[in-house]
Chain A
Amino acid sequence: TQLLEQSPQFLSIQEGENLTVYCNSSSVFSSLQWYRQEPGEGPVLLVTVVTGGEVKKLKRLTFQFGDARKDSSLHITAAQPGDTGLYLCAGARFSGGYNKLIFGAGTRLAVHP
């Protein structure tokens, strides 16, 4: 059972469409990170959100941390083929004396021209 549930698992859309990806948990996290991973590469950090209710924008990407710090969403406006990839959320929990990252299974996004 995943501690962090991401939905949807797969998303295939046309260029110009908007989309939202969700990351949900029953656990509270001290912070939450979003990564994008392209084929044959490691995940690359997009953003870290720390405060409940926090909203961060990165060009066409908008990230929100839930008020209770248990969930998060990623909204992409006017998606482009370059947005194609695996989007991972990761929650930080203090465990064993350090902030451990727990990753969701990811949402695989394909944006078609």
Chain B
Amino acid sequence: DAGVIQSPRHEVTEMGQEVTLRCKPISGHNSLFWYRQTMMRGLELLIYFNNNVPIDDSGMPEDRFSAKMPNASFSTLKIQPSEPRDSAVYFCASRQEYNEQFFGPGTRLTVL
């Protein structure tokens, strides 16, 4: 298996633009997590899906952030409009039931 796949790996955009991050979880995994990592705040959970249904979105910073999981093999995290303080590395992770979480390589987002 190729592992968790994220795209793009790097994104540079200007303040106010819409940003869409993509994730393909490991086949057969039924849980998906979006995290954000910064030097100041470390690794924070944004949203958790189980069987494609959002279970916990309490970590989503504000209405500018939204996440979808239309099927078991694809999820998106959208920021609209983006702001400089959204600059961070965004990770997607997946797992099967209560087993180990496998992280993707991350998307490094820079908002100018």
14 A-B interface contacts by CB (under 8 A) = A2-B42, A41-B103, A42-B102, A42-B105, A43-B103, A45-B100, A48-B100, A88-B43, A95-B56, A98-B50, A100-B48, A101-B45, A103-B42, A104-B42
Interface size on A, residues (CB 8 A): 21
Q: How far is the CA of A56 from the CA of B105 in the complex (A)?
A: 27
Query: Cβ of B104 < 8 Å from any Cβ of A?
Result: yes
Task: Compute how far the CA of A98 lies from the CA of B45 in the bound complex, rounded to whole angstroms.
Answer: 13
Binary per-residue interface labels of chain B (1-20) against chain A in the complex, 1 for a CB within 8 Å, 0 otherwise:
00010000000000000000
Q: What total of A-B pairs shows CB separation below 8 Å? A: 47
Which residues of chain B are near A2, meaning CB under 8 Å? Answer: 42
Digit string of B39-64 for contact with A (CB within 8 Å is 1, else 0)?
Answer: 00111110010100001101000000
A60 to chain B, nearest CB (A): 21
**Given known A-B contacts A42-B4, A42-B93, A88-B43, A100 and B56 have beta carbons under 8 A apart:** yes
**B25 interface contact, C-beta 8 A:** no
Q: Which residues of A contact B41 (CB under 8 A)?
A: 105
C-alpha spacing A106/B41, complex, angstroms: 10
* Residue numbers in B under 8 Å from A99 (CB-CB): 98
